[in-house]
Structure 1
């Protein structure tokens, strides 16, 4: 049985396709891909049958970044691409075998905070088409 990898990082979080990639991982201090599961109550009909009650799941990719006040920073990237839908790849730990692929909708991230402090800012993107696949470390 293979050893279990239980630590987040070092990993990777890349947004965009191969010709338009942004490496968000270099700024991330935390990352989470989380589902929101909900189900509606079924409707019961006079004849006794029920319809509905299906489970639906929505996803969000969220976390925190360390601020970077350059024109190449995550906040500027997200501001300039706000509302765009892009592919994303999250690899929780490059020593593991898990890769999560999805499509995210970019949302802006706040700027600023406490003076003379390295501030962290939270981000949250809606995600769709979440799929788990085997991660294979690239050969050197």
Structure 2
């Protein structure tokens, strides 16, 4: 198999319903879907076999975006939507078929930082349930 390595972007990161969809694309400098696997250690039994529990897999949609301080800013949007569970879509590259979608809980983000600097806010929104990985074929 040949080596394949893509760069992130240009792509899509959007949250919300049709009509109230909020696109993060133009402000995001880092975007990722991150799984977290929590699994107990296997339990050995006398026969030499092991009992392995199913893993508990959770995930987040996360990243970093440039702050702006207007009434339509992402920092204000995150505050206004705090606690809400909204649909999301993350497409790492527009010219690639992979799209990750699902629902996530919006949480507020930090505002401010160093003076005379283009400040950023990190976000980490817990994914509710399992996301869907889709491609052009479905």
| TM-score of the two chains, using structure 2 as the length reference | 0.85
Q: How many residues align?
A: 132
**Equivalent position of 1:24 in the other structure:** 24
Is it true that 1:134 corresponds to 2:135 in the alignment? yes
**Equivalent position of 1:72 in the other structure:** 72
**Equivalent position of 1:10 in the other structure:** 10
Q: d(CA) in 1 for partners of 2:7 and 2:50? A: 44
Answer yes or no: is the 8 Å Cα contact 1:5–1:93 preserved in 2: no
Is it true that 1:81 corresponds to 2:81 in the alignment? yes
Q: 1:43 to 1:4 in 2, by over 3 A?
A: closer
Give unmatched runs, 5+ long, in structure 2: none
Is it true that 1:53 corresponds to 2:50 in the alignment? no
Alpha-carbon offset, residue 40 of structure 1? 2.2
RMSD in angstroms over aligned alpha carbons? Answer: 2.4
**Equivalent position of 2:98 in the other structure:** 98
Q: d(CA) in 1 for partners of 2:126 and 2:115? A: 31
Q: Which secondary structure state, in structure 2, belongs to the residue aligned with residue 25 of structure 1?
A: coil
| TM-score of the two chains, using structure 1 as the length reference | 0.84
Q: 1:5 to 1:96 in 2, by over 3 A?
A: farther
Give unmatched runs, 5+ long, in structure 1: none
